[in-house]
Amino acid sequence: MIRCLRFQSQLSFDIATETFEAMRTQMADIKFLSIERIVIELTKLMRGINVEKSFNHLKSLKAFNYMPYFEHLDMNQINVTEPIDLELLIAIVSVKFDINYSLKPLKLSNRQVKDINQYIQIMNALPSIITKEQLKMFVYDYDTNLIKNVMVAADVLKANDIQGHEPLIVNLQTIDETLHRLPMHNRKDMMVNGGVLMAHLNAKSGPWLKDLLRQIEIAIVTGKVSNEETEILKWVDNHVKI
């Protein structure tokens, strides 16, 4: 039955009334399917050209009532108007309902869980990006492909009452331009590390070190200091107290 809806989403056909009603009668049987099979079918369904109709059928047939994770949620409140990744759907559900349910029942890969968590963080951060400095840190901190996926799905976010981005500051062009101009792309690119800082400051490791490394990251990415060891250590001496 889920596969039928998946094919409908991908191929855009109508389901006969008799067939649809038979599916309604038997839908509870999907609880006997493995969650791995359900996730595979949902993943394909969510990317189909006719996803809006098929997703609405899932709700009408109460299919989510018999799926791990989704069974605890009122999925009738969720709207999908265009193709999106299943990971983004799960993130939208989490943000919409302001929940932090365990994803373990879905038996997703570590990569999928990581993407979902990033999607959630991206959606929560997007509305507050109103300056170029904030945009630089935003592009530095998150996977730009996931950022773009969220931005392209702006209509889906709106349909679920999730606040979107400020288009004058955050758009596909500014994302690409900002990414290209970043002086570094992750902490491994930084020309100092914890050992260098502890030696320079003659201090033992502690919570302060993580905070200091983050401060240096921000200073480099926002252009307040160049990514050179001598310049960074000068900046630390002038701006940081432990």
Structure confidence by residue, pLDDT tens digits, 202-217: 999 999 999 999 999 9
CATH class of residue range 2-67 = mainly alpha
Cα distance between residue 39 and residue 47, in whole Å: 13
pLDDT of residue 200: 96
The reported pLDDT for the residue numbered 11 is 94
CB atoms within 10 A of CB 235: 17
pTM score of the predicted model: 0.92
Q: What is the pLDDT of residue 242?
A: 72
**Residue 241: predicted pLDDT:** 79
Domains of the chain: which residue ranges?
Answer: 2-67, 110-181, 187-239
Averaged pLDDT in 10-residue chunks for the chain of 242 residues: 94 92 94 96 98 97 97 97 98 95 96 98 96 97 98 97 92 97 96 96 94 97 97 94 76
Q: Are 49 and 10 in contact (CB under 8 A)?
A: yes
DSSP 43-103: HHHHTSTTHHHHHHHHHHTTGGGGSTTGGGS-GGG----S---HHHHHHHHHHHHT----S
16-23 long-range contacts, Cβ below 8 Å, gap at least 24? Answer: 20/57, 20/61, 23/61
Q: What is the residue whose two structure tokens read 């773009």?
A: 148
pLDDT value for 66: 96
Write down the pLDDT at residue 166: 87
CATH topology (fold) of 187-239: Serum Albumin; Chain A, Domain 1 (1.10.246)
- 133-142 residue pLDDT tens: 999 999 999 9
CB atoms within 10 A of CB 209: 18
Q: What is the pLDDT of residue 233?
A: 97
The answer to whether 2-67 and 187-239 have equal CATH topology is: no
